[in-house]
Amino acid sequence: MAGSTSSLVICAIGIYATFLTWALVQEPLATRTWPNSMEKFQFPNVIALLQASVAMMMGYLYLNWKKVTYSPTKMIQDHWKQLMLISFTQSSSGPLATTSLKYVDYLTYMLAKSCKMIPVLFVHLLLYRTPISNQKKVVAILVSLGVTIFTIGGNDGKKLMRTPNDDGSSNKLQGFGLLSSSLFLDGLTNATQDKLLKANKANEKGKQTLITGAHLMFTLNLFVIVWNILYFVVVDRRQWENAVSVWTMDPHVWGYLMLYSVCGAMGQCFVFYTLEQFGSLVLIMITVTRKMVSMILSIVVFGKSVGFQQWLGISIVFGGITWEALNKKRANTSKVKLA
């Protein structure tokens, strides 16, 4: 998918900035014990519902700003099956990964999340039979390898904490099963979004039914809202009741929830634009290197020290990205000469 280098840089900065702020708000929201209720606000589906509601409203504004002619209502009628699948896999992946932390240590969790490009690649190749160049495959492997080395290097010399339930191989297998399922669903989510956008661009070029990132942002968040409401009604009504009890006694929670939701929604604007213009592999490359870029900024700004293993990981990642950029530039130069 075509897109300028300057647009890609702006998207990357936007994703890093919004999700860094989002993460800073997430920590106190999830870990603080609120003074009146004496409870932590650990209600993942309530948070997901509120964030999706804010993101859907921002997606609606994004649609109006783009002045699209293909209405989201018509898009839902035309593509409801794909939208249901994507929103379901998107809604299910996070809780599975979070639950896996009961059985595996945090480093294992982080390493798995560092390799998100690989399941996207596999789903594209094996399920959708998407033609992907060897160059992109190599870059995906290099980025995953580099982020893995970087993550391990950051935990050098630290003993892995054993989780409370980590009393046997069966629990570890359960944790790995949950993590693998989460990664597969991540891969299915991103690859299916990618396929929907590419197929639509190819088939509907010049017509009034072109899907944009704004369409996906609005409709997918609408379906996420529906899935979470169904979850509350059918499975876990007490989660909603407990959340209402906490924010009634501690109204300050609302400020954190709104800031968290707004940062997440702003980040989604950059995410879906990147997906529309550059595809899922580039998007995942940006998201998995976010922690690494934060570390580089801390080196530049605060003079934080980094070990050899982490520098090796950084070199592999940016070496792979630079190699791909140079190859693209060389290919574009050859096309200009031939023209």
DSSP for 255-321, please give it: HHHHHHHHHHHHHHHHHHHHHHHH-HHHHHHHHHTHHHHHHHHHHHHH-----HHHHHHHHHHHHHH
CB 224 within 8 A of CB 44: no
Predicted TM-score of the model (pTM): 0.79
Mean pLDDT score, 297-323: 78
Q: At which residue do the structure tokens 């530049």 appear?
A: 300
- What are the pLDDT digits (tens) for 52-82? 999 999 999 999 998 888 889 999 998 999 9
Does residue 26 have a pLDDT over 80? no
pLDDT at position 161, please?
A: 46
193-225: pLDDT as tens digits: 888 888 787 676 666 678 899 999 999 999 999
Q: Is 322 exposed, middle or buried (0-12, 13-18, 19+ CB in 10 A)?
A: exposed
